[in-house]
Chain A
Amino acid sequence: DAKTTQPTSMDCAEGRAANLPCNHSTISGNEYVYWYRQIHSQGPQYIIHGLKNNETNEMASLIITEDRKSSTLILPHATLRDTAVYYCIVRVARRDDKIIFGKGTRLHILP
């Protein structure tokens, strides 16, 4: 079973920051938080991951709380192309630890 809890859906206005929350209260000390997204009819796409520090790349920022029990993915300036299902996943960064998907958050970017 997935180890994370996410809202089923969210709306965000185009050009605004999209903040997607994720709860992972049972996360272990060696588990990373990963985010993927899936645009309609495509395979999931890696966005970002982190252990305990906040992370930023060209796509998004990841904010992890100090107790590591929750995190937020931030898309700083959402566009219509960011409409997708976003999956928050916790796993050990090791080849034999599988990605287990939950139902994710369906993000709608509104024009």
Chain B
Amino acid sequence: ETGVTQSPTHLIKTRGQQVTLRCSSQSGHNTVSWYQQALGQGPQFIFQYYREEENGRGNFPPRFSGLQFPNYSSELNVNALELDDSALYLCASSLTDISDYGYTFGSGTRLTVV
């Protein structure tokens, strides 16, 4: 059973550019959530996808967008990058029901905006 895989692991972008981060969910998991974690802070919820549809969104502007594919993998896209977008971006997959054992997180993509 594979875990959650994120790519790339590290990325440097220039302010104003666009970036795409990728996530392969754990086998069998149909729900993917994305989080942003600034240095020294807890992860902040960006949005969640369930069976290819957005299923909730945190307090992030529309330039943060996402996709989920039929195989349940997912992408996070950020347009018009700002310096404050520098953070660790975490993807988590889950198959939630009443016996949920929680989310499985990837190791994240470290994005630096210069």
A71 to B90, CA, bound (A): 27
User: In the complex, which residues 71-107 of chain A have their Cβ closer than 8 Å to any Cβ of chain B?
Assistant: 85, 87, 93-96, 98-104
With contact pairs A42-B107, A43-B105, A93-B100 given, residues A100 and B45 touching in the complex (Cβ less than 8 Å): yes
A95 to B55, CA, bound (A): 9
A32 to B97, CA, bound (A): 12
Contact with A along B42-59 (1 / 0, CB 8 A): 111100101000011010
Contact with B along A1-21 (1 / 0, CB 8 A): 010000000000000000000
User: In the complex, which residues 13-61 of chain A have their Cβ closer than 8 Å to any Cβ of chain B?
Assistant: 32, 34, 36, 41-46, 49
Q: Is the CB of A99 within 8 A of B104?
A: no
Q: Is the CB of B42 within 8 A of A103?
A: yes
Decide yes or no whether B66 CB sits under 8 A from chain A.
no
A2 to B58, CA, bound (A): 13
Q: Is the CB of B45 within 8 A of A93?
A: no
With contact pairs A44-B90, A46-B102, A46-B103 given, residues A94 and B96 touching in the complex (Cβ less than 8 Å): yes
With contact pairs A95-B31, A98-B33, A98-B45 given, residues A44 and B105 touching in the complex (Cβ less than 8 Å): yes
Q: Is the CB of A45 within 8 A of B105?
A: yes
CB-CB under 8 A from A99, the residues of chain B are 33, 45, 92, 103
A42 to B106, CA, bound (A): 8
Question: Size range of the interface on B?
Answer: 20 to 34
Residues of A in contact, count (CB < 8 Å): 24
B99's nearest neighbour on chain A, judged by CB, is A93
Smallest CB separation, A96 vs chain B (Å): 6
Contact partner of A96 (CB less than 8 A), chosen from B55, B101, B102, is: B55
Of A85, A87, A93, most buried by chain B (CB within 10 Å of CB) is A93
A sample of 6 inter-chain contacts (CB < 8 A) reads A43-B108, A49-B101, A96-B48, A96-B55, A99-B103, A100-B45
Nearest 5 pairs of A and B residues by beta carbon: A43-B105, A101-B42, A46-B102, A95-B96, A93-B100
Given pairs A43-B92, A94-B98, A95-B96, 7 additional interface contacts (CB within 8 A): A87-B42, A95-B97, A98-B58, A100-B45, A101-B35, A103-B42, A104-B42
